[in-house]
């Protein structure tokens, strides 16, 4: 059996930003300190604020990345304000899943869907190659969009898009 | 063999630079030039799409002959420069949905630029260039490698600059529609005669279609007019009756003629259509057979299947429409207009009134309804996938008592489908009724005005006075007129849909096949079986090296075991030996010949390959064994089955060698399936035999039966046995231990046990497992 990983609720854990943007220094309730560790989401799409795994990325002798997992923080809501902020900043740097706030323009050119969208990270244009499998409604109701380069985007709530945006999306759900 | 291209001089190479992943804004160019010294040249640009704050924005990296220039609009110090020789390491850290380009200089790591996945590979090239250059590799070679990588990843059309949807995609704007159309119609050429005959028949029936309304007009206006004044037995009455029967007979002849011609035409068209679809499908399937495995790594087999089935049918439909209906519909349209105008120009003009409404509403409706049909399709596909998952997996469903969950899932999706169907039906009904009403209003107007003209014998614009029969015929023509109009309205959509299918079909047809299938050298005296791997390194994906500098020699007739943990690279060794992938570094030799120079078809036919999961085809047992050549003598096939310990169980099957196997060999146990696949390999009489975990999925008793068969067939052949269970390697002359893509150890069992290295550890682990009750442990 693989080594079991410990779960922590998040209470009494202190998280500080480390030397680089993604790296963190974490002090557990028993005083153990982990430096230069990184957070990873177990559910990067369906549940972004819970089950955060704390890992360290190490290089093996051939320069390949090896992941060492230390523990899991069950819920970021249980962290104190500063710790949560440090953790979320790190996660925000690692994960980039822009939230689509509106669809400005859409063209279907020979089966390739070209979208120009407004996201929480700015305006961006991208292409969707396989429209049949690249726009998915998840169980949570969120929409996951995957572009021709495997970049991911999400739409939290279709009803919050403009009327035109909703209409453009309608055919692909 | 590929023609050798002349290497560019460094000056010629410089003239092709800078390489860029997209157009470089003048502002960026000025910024780089502002920090360059005299004689410095810009080699590469990477224009990124994300800035350091993980927002979309402007940033770039430029590599010159001397330095690395990085710009990020939100960084405090927007422009940073580094001497390339001062950079200790450049790397790209892949994150989720984005990546970070960073360098190590002066012992410090500096994060320079961020990007989305769309640009990551360009940063990879730059990082590799810097690291290799600082390691002292040849600058020109490195620049050429980056240039080549950039070109292969062309994101922008070199002709018009339009954004391409994926690497090297054909540019939609520049695609020569005529060329595509010409290529589609190329499939018509062999069947042109049939189509011309069908077309002539269609033209004849279309023209004869115009006659019946004129005959009915004659009937109403002449034959059946003023019947109250007619007296039985008079010549007038007789003449009317004769005329009536003549018209009826003529109508009968026309209808019979149309139906006979229609039946012939239908058959001819079906023949041409089947032949065209068949040639398209065969060409596509043939190409799919010769595509390299790496093509299927990137393209799902489902997608290729849908191209072979769906897209070819769509193209065939288009060919039929274009080759037949365009002309007949045009003839019908012109014919009807000519007849209508000649009957009454004023009514003709009036009857055109609903046309703009019908045309515009059809356009709007087709755009509007398309998403609804897509939603229905998507839900239908979901239902299919539920069925495909749960019915073949019924054992799992029952084992986990998830029947209710499956039913609920199915019911919910079905409800969803019904709801979408009803929504679509509602919209379609409203549209159909509305357009029907508009057209009916048109005919009502014609009835009103035309009727008035009949009653008052009024005429406008010099037209002849309208008769009752003329009015009836006119209204008939008017209804006929709407058909070709609707056909031409929807023609553009047909084009778009066909071009989409054409692109998908041609993408497969134009893909690079395995290079030298049936075109290389055939070694004199056949293959003896000496295998040599020389400095072989390989990665399926860039950055993830699976094999690193692998070297070994296997002598002819040697039995060699390859062992290692899961993911160590064992199967990759076989993948390269089978030439499933050719893009490795180093060389692989067979009897001293580089395998890339040996005819691929001949080469593979000299290797027997037994996989862990035997793949049996939906065919008889006999044809499954004789898969490589169904004309093999029966004696040979039965002998192969006997060698594989398969003959006895086959003869107990209800139809013996004629037993039809279901998909993936359903109906046989794992061991039986494996024995059939071993018999298949035996029948090939290969010089080299590869057994890839051939006994790992069967129980110990079956394993010993298979093992016995294997021992019989490996005699005198170079045999490579990949095994988890070390007990299967009892007969091995040599054991190669692969660990993380490298050869960790090599030698006989005794040598390796004495060495007390990785192999020793593996044996000990399995011995421990044996003590705990597991089976199949090496006893040595």
Whether A34 has its CB under 8 Å from any CB of chain B: the answer is no
Average of pLDDT values for B738-748?
Answer: 87
User: Nearest-CA distance from A81 to chain B in Å?
Assistant: 21
Whether A96 has its CB under 8 Å from any CB of chain B: the answer is yes
More confident residue, B439 or B285: B285
User: Nearest-CA distance from B272 to chain A in Å?
Assistant: 27
Which positions in chain A touch B57 (Cβ < 8 Å)? 122
The pLDDT tens digits for B59-115 are 999 999 999 999 998 888 999 999 999 999 998 888 888 999 999 999 888 999 999
Q: Which of residues 477-516 of B touch A (CB under 8 A)?
A: 496, 499-500, 503-504
Contact B499 A110 (CB under 8 A): yes
What pLDDT was estimated at residue B3? 39
Nearest to A111 among B50, B163, B500 (CB): B500
Contact A94 B95 (CB under 8 A): yes
Which positions in chain A touch B375 (Cβ < 8 Å)? 170-171, 173
**pLDDT confidence tier of residue B164, bands split at 50, 70 and 90:** low
**pLDDT confidence tier of residue B778, bands split at 50, 70 and 90:** very low
Average of pLDDT values for B725-742?
Answer: 82
Whether A173 has its CB under 8 Å from any CB of chain B: the answer is yes
What pLDDT was estimated at residue B708? 78
Whether B55 has its CB under 8 Å from any CB of chain A: the answer is yes
**pLDDT confidence tier of residue B158, bands split at 50, 70 and 90:** low
What pLDDT was estimated at residue B760? 86
Among the residue ranges A92-106, B502-516, B655-669, B745-759, the one predicted with the least confidence is B655-669
Q: Which of residues 6-25 of A touch B (CB under 8 A)?
A: 20-22
Residue from B51, B56, B102 whose CB has the most chain A CBs within 10 Å, to mutate? B56
Which positions in chain B touch A152 (Cβ < 8 Å)? 97
Q: In whole angstroms, what is the distance from residue B136 CA to residue B140 CA?
A: 12
What pLDDT was estimated at residue B299? 67
User: Nearest-CA distance from A40 to chain B in Å?
Assistant: 10
What pLDDT was estimated at residue A60? 63
**Closest alpha carbon to A40 in A56, A52, A49:** A52
What pLDDT was estimated at residue A100? 96
The pLDDT tens digits for B411-454 are 998 999 999 999 989 998 998 888 888 888 888 888 888 888 88
- What are the counts of helices (DSSP H) followed by strands (DSSP E) for chain A? 3, 12
**pLDDT confidence tier of residue B217, bands split at 50, 70 and 90:** confident
More confident residue, B127 or B432: B127
Q: Could you tell me whether strands B87-94 and B593-594 are parallel, antiparallel, or unpaired per DSSP bridges?
A: unpaired
Whether A35 has its CB under 8 Å from any CB of chain B: the answer is no
Contact A97 B96 (CB under 8 A): yes
User: At which residue do the structure tokens 């007990």 appear?
Assistant: B727
What pLDDT was estimated at residue B123? 92
Cis amide leading into B366 (omega within 30)? no
User: Is pLDDT of B163 > 70?
Assistant: no
Task: Kindly write down the DSSP assignment for every residue of B159-183, as one continuous string.
Answer: TT-PBPSSTTPPPTTTS-HHHHHHH
Average of pLDDT values for B188-215?
Answer: 88
Distances (CA, A) of B555 to B39, B531, B592: 57, 7, 11
Interface A-B: count of C-beta contacts within 8 A? 91
**pLDDT confidence tier of residue B774, bands split at 50, 70 and 90:** very low
Contact A111 B378 (CB under 8 A): no
What pLDDT was estimated at residue B488? 82
What pLDDT was estimated at residue B5? 46
Which positions in chain B touch A60 (Cβ < 8 Å)? 740
Contact B95 A96 (CB under 8 A): yes
User: Nearest-CA distance from B435 to chain A in Å?
Assistant: 24
Contact B97 A96 (CB under 8 A): yes
What pLDDT was estimated at residue B775? 44
Burial of A89 (0-12, 13-18, 19+ CB in 10 A): middle
Nearest to B97 among A64, A97, A129 (CB): A97
**CA distance from start to end of chain A:** 41
What pLDDT was estimated at residue B93? 86
Which positions in chain B touch A44 (Cβ < 8 Å)? 96
To the nearest whole number, what is the mean pLDDT of chain B? Answer: 83
User: Nearest-CA distance from B776 to chain A in Å?
Assistant: 21
Average of pLDDT values for B396-421?
Answer: 86
Whether A112 has its CB under 8 Å from any CB of chain B: the answer is yes
pTM of model > 0.80: no
Contact A62 B503 (CB under 8 A): no
User: Nearest-CA distance from A139 to chain B in Å?
Assistant: 12
User: Nearest-CA distance from A63 to chain B in Å?
Assistant: 10
The residues of chain A scoring below 70 in pLDDT are 1-4, 19-21, 59-65, 110-111
What pLDDT was estimated at residue B257? 92
More confident residue, B456 or B8: B456
The pLDDT tens digits for B697-722 are 667 777 777 777 777 777 778 999 88
Could you say which DSSP state residue B680 is in?
Answer: H
**pLDDT confidence tier of residue B4, bands split at 50, 70 and 90:** very low
User: Is pLDDT of B463 > 70?
Assistant: no
Nearest to B117 among A110, A122, A151 (CB): A151
Contact B118 A149 (CB under 8 A): yes
Highest mean pLDDT among B47-51, B162-166, B169-173, B331-335: B47-51
Nearest CA in chain B to A166: B371
Nearest CA in chain A to B115: A96
Complex confidence, ipTM: 0.89
User: At which residue do the structure tokens 């620049």 appear?
Assistant: B143
The pLDDT tens digits for B645-679 are 888 888 888 788 888 886 545 578 888 888 898 88
Residue from B108, B109, B127, B165 whose CB has the most chain A CBs within 10 Å, to mutate? B165
What pLDDT was estimated at residue B51? 92
- Percent pLDDT > 70 in chain B is 90
Outline where B344-402 has alpha helix (H).
345-351, 354-390, 394-399
What pLDDT was estimated at residue B772? 53
Contact B545 A110 (CB under 8 A): no
Nearest CA in chain B to A152: B97
What pLDDT was estimated at residue B585? 84
Residues 6+ apart with CB under 8 A from B246: none
Nearest CA in chain B to A93: B54
Q: In whole angstroms, what is the distance from residue B152 CA to residue B146 CA?
A: 10
The pLDDT tens digits for B224-278 are 887 778 778 888 888 888 889 999 999 999 999 989 998 998 899 889 888 988 8
* Phi, psi for B572 (deg, rounded to 5): -65, -35
């Amino acid at each position: 059996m693989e080594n079991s990983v410990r779960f922590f609720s998040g209470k009494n854990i202190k998280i500080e930003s480390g030397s680089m943007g993604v790296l963190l220094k974490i002090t557990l309730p028993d005083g153990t300190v982990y430096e230069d560790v990184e957070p990873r989401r177990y559910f990067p799409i369906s549940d972004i604020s819970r089950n955060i795994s704390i890992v360290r990325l190490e290089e093996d002798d051939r320069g390949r990345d090896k992941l060492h997992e230390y523990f899991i923080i069950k819920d970021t809501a249980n962290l104190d304000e500063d710790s949560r902020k440090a953790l979320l900043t790190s996660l925000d740097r690692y994960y980039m899943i822009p939230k689509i706030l509106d669809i400005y323009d859409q063209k279907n050119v020979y089966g390739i869907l070209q979208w120009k969208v407004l996201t929480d990270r700015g305006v961006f244009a991208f292409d969707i190659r396989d429209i049949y499998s690249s726009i998915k409604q998840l169980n949570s109701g969120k929409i996951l969009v995957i572009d021709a380069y495997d970049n991911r985007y999400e739409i939290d709530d279709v009803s919050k898009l403009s009327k035109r945006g909703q209409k453009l999306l309608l055919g692909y759900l | 063999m590929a023609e050798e291209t002349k290497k560019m001089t460094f000056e010629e190479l410089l003239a092709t630079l800078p390489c860029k992943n997209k157009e470089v804004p003048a502002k960026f160019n000025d910024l780089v030039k502002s920090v360059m010294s005299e004689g410095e040249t810009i080699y590469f640009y990477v224009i990124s799409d994300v800035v350091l704050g993980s927002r979309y924005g402007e940033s770039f990296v430029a590599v010159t002959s001397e330095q690395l220039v990085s710009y990020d609009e939100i960084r405090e110090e927007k422009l940073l420069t580094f001497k390339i020789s001062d950079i200790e390491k450049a790397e790209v850290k892949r994150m989720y949905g984005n990546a970070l380009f960073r360098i190590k200089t002066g012992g410090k790591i500096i994060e320079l630029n961020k990007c989305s996945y769309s640009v990551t590979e360009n940063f990879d090239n730059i990082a590799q260039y810097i690291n290799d250059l600082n390691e002292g590799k040849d600058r020109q070679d490195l620049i050429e490698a980056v240039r080549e990588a950039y070109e292969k990843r062309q994101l922008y059309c070199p002709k018009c600059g339009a954004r391409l949807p994926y690497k090297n995609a054909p540019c939609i704007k520049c695609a020569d529609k005529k060329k595509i159309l010409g290529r589609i119609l190329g499939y018509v050429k062999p069947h042109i005669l049939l189509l011309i005959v069908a077309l002539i028949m269609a033209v004849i029936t279309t023209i004869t279609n115009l006659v019946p309304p004129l005959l009915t007009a004659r009937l109403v206006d002449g034959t059946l007019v003023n019947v109250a004044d007619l007296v039985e037995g008079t010549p007038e009455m007789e003449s009317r009756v004769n005329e009536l029967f003549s018209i009826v007979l003529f109508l009968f002849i026309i209808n019979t003629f149309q139906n006979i011609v229609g039946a012939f035409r239908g058959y001819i068209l079906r023949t041409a259509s089947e032949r065209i679809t068949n040639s398209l499908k065969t060409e596509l399937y043939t190409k799919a057979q010769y595509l390299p495995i790496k093509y299927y790594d990137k393209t799902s087999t489902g997608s290729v299947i849908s191209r072979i089935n769906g897209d070819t049918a769509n193209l065939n439909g288009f060919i039929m429409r274009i080759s037949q209906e365009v002309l007949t519909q045009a003839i019908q349209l012109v014919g009807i207009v000519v007849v209508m105008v000649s009957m009454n120009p004023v009514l003709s003009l009036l009857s055109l009134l609903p046309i703009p409404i019908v045309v515009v509403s059809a356009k709007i409706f087709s755009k509007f309804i398309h998403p609804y049909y897509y939603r229905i399709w998507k839900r239908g596909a979901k239902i299919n996938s539920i069925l495909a998952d749960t019915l073949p997996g019924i054992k799992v469903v029952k084992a986990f008592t998830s029947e209710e969950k499956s039913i609920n899932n199915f019911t919910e999706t079905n409800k969803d489908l019904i709801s979408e169907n009803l929504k679509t039906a509602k919209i379609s009904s409203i549209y159909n009724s509305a357009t029907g009403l508009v057209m009916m209003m048109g005919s009502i107007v014609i009835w009103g005005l035309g009727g008035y003209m009949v009653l008052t014998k009024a005429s406008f614009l010099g037209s002849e006075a309208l008769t009752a029969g003329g009015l009836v015929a006119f209204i008939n023509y008017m209804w006929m007129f709407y058909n070709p109009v609707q056909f031409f309205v929807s023609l553009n959509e047909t084009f778009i849909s066909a071009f989409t299918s054409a692109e998908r079909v041609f993408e497969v047809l134009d893909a690079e096949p395995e290079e030298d299938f049936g075109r290389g050298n055939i070694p004199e005296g056949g293959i003896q079986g000496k295998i040599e791997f020389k400095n072989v390194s390989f990665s399926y994906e860039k950055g993830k090296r699976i094999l690193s500098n692998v070297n070994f020699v296997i002598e002819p007739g040697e039995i060699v075991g390859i062992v290692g943990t899961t993911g160590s690279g064992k199967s990759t060794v076989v993948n390269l030996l089978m030439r499933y992938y050719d893009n490795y570094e180093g060389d692989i030799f067979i009897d001293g010949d580089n395998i890339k120079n040996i005819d691929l078809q001949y080469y593979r036919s000299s290797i027997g390959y037994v996989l862990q999961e035997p793949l049996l085809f939906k065919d008889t047992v006999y044809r499954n064994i004789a898969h490589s050549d169904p004309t093999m003598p029966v004696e040979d096939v039965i002998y192969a089955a006997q060698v594989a310990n398969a003959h006895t169980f086959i003869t107990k099957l209800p139809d013996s060698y004629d037993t039809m196997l279901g998909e993936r060999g359903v109906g046989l146990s794992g061991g039986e399936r494996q024995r059939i696949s071993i018999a298949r390999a035996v029948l090939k009489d290969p010089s080299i035999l590869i057994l890839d975990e051939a006994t790992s999925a069967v129980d110990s008793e079956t394993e010993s039966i298979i093992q016995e068969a294997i021992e019989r067939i490996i005699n005198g052949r170079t045999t490579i046995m990949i095994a988890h269970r070390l007990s299967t390697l009892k007969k091995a002359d040599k054991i190669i231990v692969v660990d993380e893509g490298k050869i960790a150890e090599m030698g006989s069992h005794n040598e390796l046990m004495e060495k007390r290295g990785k192999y020793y550890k593996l044996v000990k682990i399995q011995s421990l497992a044996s003590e705990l009750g597991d089976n199949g442990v090496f006893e040595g």
